[in-house]
A and B are shown apart, each in its own frame.
Chain A
Amino acid sequence: MLAGSLTILVIDENRIRASIIEAGLRDAGHSQVTVVHDVAGIAKRIAEIEPDVIVIDLENPNRDMLENMFQLSRAVKRPIAMFVDRSDRASIEAAVDAGVSAYVVDGLKKERIKPILDMAISRFNAFSRMARELEEARSELENRKVVDRAKGILMKSRGLSEEAAYALLRKTAMNQNRKIAEIAQSLVTAAGLLDPLGGE
């Protein structure tokens, strides 16, 4: 059977992650994919779409509301259960670790759903990695900025060369067993306090 014959609903408040999941599903040949960011009016949407599979991020605080809705199949014409069955412990752990869960209508074969969950898990993990790397790059940039400002303060107030200013920061950091960026931040803060007009 064609992969594309399944109707999939992705509920994720994070728009970037949702579009990464959607792209993954389309790459895998699923054409009937709907993405929802906000759960307001979700019962009506589910009734319209009649999804076979629903993918939800675990951080969504509305999971309890959604699960209750799936169990009361008045809102959703067919009963929906959590996909990961108890025998497949590795899948369960991988999904929860990645921060994703999936629900499917009763009667769908595990073999048809597993690739969808596996894809969601790997894309969720890739997204987390990307977000982490972005955060690291951002803080690296921030650190570099503050070290530059600290060097400037030392060069001006003590008449040091740039290399000598940096060497002083590094030596102080080593002596105090702290990071250069922390020493630089302390210096910038202290300089700001001593000079309320802010002229460094």
Chain B
Amino acid sequence: MSTTHEITAGFMPLFDSAVLVAAGEMGFAAREGIELKLQRETSWANIRDRIAIGHFDVAHMLGPMPLACSLGLTPLASETIVPFSLGLGGNCVTVSNAVWDGIAAHGASPDLDPARAGQALGALIHERASAGREPLRFAVVHPHSGHNYELRYWLAACGIDPDRDIEIVIVPPPFMADALAAGRIDGYCVGEPWNSAAVAAGTGQIVTVKALLWRNSPEKVIGVRKVWAEENPDALAALLRALHHSARWCQDPANRGDLAALMARPEFLGQPEAIQMPALTGRLQLGGGVEWNVEDFFLPFDKAANFPWKSHALWFYTQMVRWGQLPHTPQNLAIARDCYRPDLYRSALKPLRVALPGANAKVEGALKTATPVGSAGASLVLGPDGFFDGQIFDPDRIDAYVAGQKRA
């Protein structure tokens, strides 16, 4: 097929850019008539700035970032929409060996159980506070990130106030493991391979994972400048089809070796192939020689992973409100509701006759097991999608959910 669309896409060197990278490098974009120009960036702020001024048409973004842009929470913000999700899960919480020893003494086991690890961390924090020691310092990649919200959700559900009992700072993903080794931070929440990197270096221990805090939960997305999407509907639809085929390829276990080799290249992650594998297999080295198999650790395609659920966007919105990033108003809620665009995803994929969810939102936490759902033609399996503390998020009852949220 001849090239009919030229699309420039920004990405950050993280494993969950895989679907976008493979779309360009494995020929999926070319097959849809797209010349996809991939440009690696050094910060989310750069991605935001370059998409705002038109250097990028689309970009690999943190799930809450297009919301923050559309809600005016960041400088140089522009209206950004989300027609495609790049996957579910993929993050871990990693702590220093010293903190691990501390929480192990308070009952944590190397089994990734968020409730028990959180309780033990709470006990360690109180012990340190009574001894007059400085609060522990945790790092996340960005204030408007799934990492920030899931770390805070976990801590708060375990009785730890993330603003009062610990300190949360921002560190770029590739620097996390070094900052932990140097003692500048005591723990962090980040995507792979930056957790496995600390374990491999012998300087960190993985205590829990996103896939257990909120099962099959949203992480990175494709953010699109709204004006560009409106002016280039055919290019966007072609891109979404290319991403769909790429995501299916990335999910296939037969392609793991090729995908790891692709992501290992210096222009993408520039990290050894071996360290990409835990993200693909879900078999994590937790530290201290313990290996653990995590179900649905990172899904680039399965379980409708690419569908931009409005309930995902709205949960991010409730966390922005919870942690004081913006007030809960009907106007803000309306902006958040319009940011993720399942309609664009559905119309682009319709010609492919693949299974698509019929609803735009779901009650998060309602599916206790993997559940087949009947929808347009072929079959589709969703979930489980539970929060570790058993809470339910019903996007039709946002006021009650927001009112019921506590800081700890």
A residues within 8 Å of B by Cβ? 58-65, 67-69, 71, 81-82, 84, 86, 89, 92-93, 96, 101, 103
Measured CB to CB, the closest approach of chain B to A157, in angstroms, equals 37
Partner of A62, one of B55, B74, B172: B172
Is B171 on the interface with A (CB-CB < 8 A)?
yes
12 CB-based A-B contacts, threshold 8 Å:
A58-B43, A62-B43, A63-B42, A64-B142, A65-B172, A67-B75, A68-B142, A68-B170, A92-B53, A92-B76, A93-B53, A96-B50
B53 touches A65 (CB 8 A): no
Pairs of residues from A and B, 8 with the lowest C-beta to C-beta distance, nearest first: A82-B75, A63-B45, A65-B170, A63-B43, A68-B170, A61-B42, A61-B172, A64-B43
Give the distance in Å from the alpha carbon of A60 to the alpha carbon of B46 in the complex: 9
B141 touching A64, Cβ below 8 Å? yes
CB distance from A59 to the nearest CB of B (A): 6
Query: A5 to nearest B CB, angstroms?
Result: 25
Determine the chain B residues whose CB is within 8 A of the CB of A69 once the complex forms: 170
Partner of B46, one of A63, A81, A82, A86: A63
Contact A58 B46 (CB under 8 A): yes
B53-78 at interface with A (beta carbon < 8 Å):
53, 55, 74-76
Check if A65 sits within 8 Å of B171, measured CB to CB.
Answer: yes
Q: Which residues of A contact B175 (CB under 8 A)?
A: 61
When distances are taken between beta carbons in the complex, the residues of chain A under 8 Å from B44 are: 64
Nearest-Cβ distance from residue B264 to partner chain A, whole angstroms: 20
- Interchain pairs with CB closer than 8 A, number: 56
User: Given A64-B45, A84-B76, A92-B52, 19 other A-B contacts at CB below 8 A?
Assistant: A58-B46, A58-B49, A59-B42, A61-B42, A61-B43, A61-B175, A62-B43, A63-B46, A65-B172, A67-B74, A67-B75, A68-B143, A68-B170, A82-B75, A82-B76, A92-B49, A96-B49, A96-B50, A101-B45
Contact, CB under 8 Å: B43 / A60:
yes
- Cα A82 to Cα B170 with chains together (Å): 18
Q: Smallest CB-CB separation from B49: which chain A residue?
A: A96
Does B376 belong to the interface (CB within 8 Å)? no
A67-B44 Cα distance, complex, nearest whole Å: 11
Chain A positions within 8 Å of B142 at CB level: 64, 68
Q: Which residues of B contact A89 (CB under 8 A)?
A: 53
Question: Taking CB as reference atom, which chain B residue is nearest A81?
Answer: B75
Chain A residue numbers with a CB within 8 Å of B43 are 58, 60-64
Q: Which residue of A lies closest to B42 (CB)?
A: A61
Indicate the member of B43, B171, B175 with the most A CB atoms within 10 Å: B43
Neighbouring B residues of A60 by C-beta, 8 Å = 42-43
What residues of B have a CB within 8 angstroms of the CB of A71 in the complex?
143
Q: Shortest CB–CB separation between residue A14 and chain B, in angstroms?
A: 13
A61 touches B143 (CB 8 A): no
B174 at the interface (CB under 8 A from A): yes
